[in-house]
């Protein structure tokens, strides 16, 4: 679907990407896997990969993918209850891919 003049977040650094756009490009991903990953993405309140990474873009800090952390954001996010463990496992797997 194309929406004229739709808002798009600005990428923060060279090489940054939208998390969900990147996941959607994985050839073997299923709709169920995308739904699980999206629930984590909404819970974390992150848009891009850089939102998760350390300043050097070398790793994701411990505790960020366990449900104990949510990003501070000026955006209005929908309420998302904490996803189940299977969703977190799927999100981590897709990040590695």
How far apart are alpha carbons 49 and 22 in whole angstroms? 9
Residues 6+ apart with CB under 8 A from 60: 52, 53, 54, 95
Write phi, then psi, for 23 (nearest 5 degrees).
-60, -40
Residue 56 CA: distances (Å) to CA of 10, 60, 90: 19, 10, 25
pLDDT of 86 above 80: yes
- pLDDT, one tens digit per residue, over 24-81 is 999 999 999 999 999 999 999 988 887 787 666 667 777 778 877 777 877 788 888 9
> For the whole model, what pTM was predicted?
0.79
Pick from 29, 34, 40, 37: which is nearest to 70 by CA?
40
Largest Cα separation within the chain, whole Å, is: 39
Residue 18 CA to residue 46 CA, distance in Å, equals 9
């Amino acid at each position: 679907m194309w929406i004229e003049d739709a808002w798009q977040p600005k990428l923060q650094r060279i090489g940054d990407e939208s998390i969900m756009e990147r996941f959607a490009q994985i050839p073997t991903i299923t709709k169920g896997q995308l739904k699980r990953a999206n629930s984590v993405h909404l819970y974390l309140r992150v848009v891009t990969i850089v939102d998760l990474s350390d300043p050097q873009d070398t790793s994701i800090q411990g505790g960020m993918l366990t449900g104990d952390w949510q990003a501070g954001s000026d955006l209005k996010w929908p309420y998302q209850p904490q996803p189940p463990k299977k969703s977190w496992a799927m999100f981590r797997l897709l990040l590695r891919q």
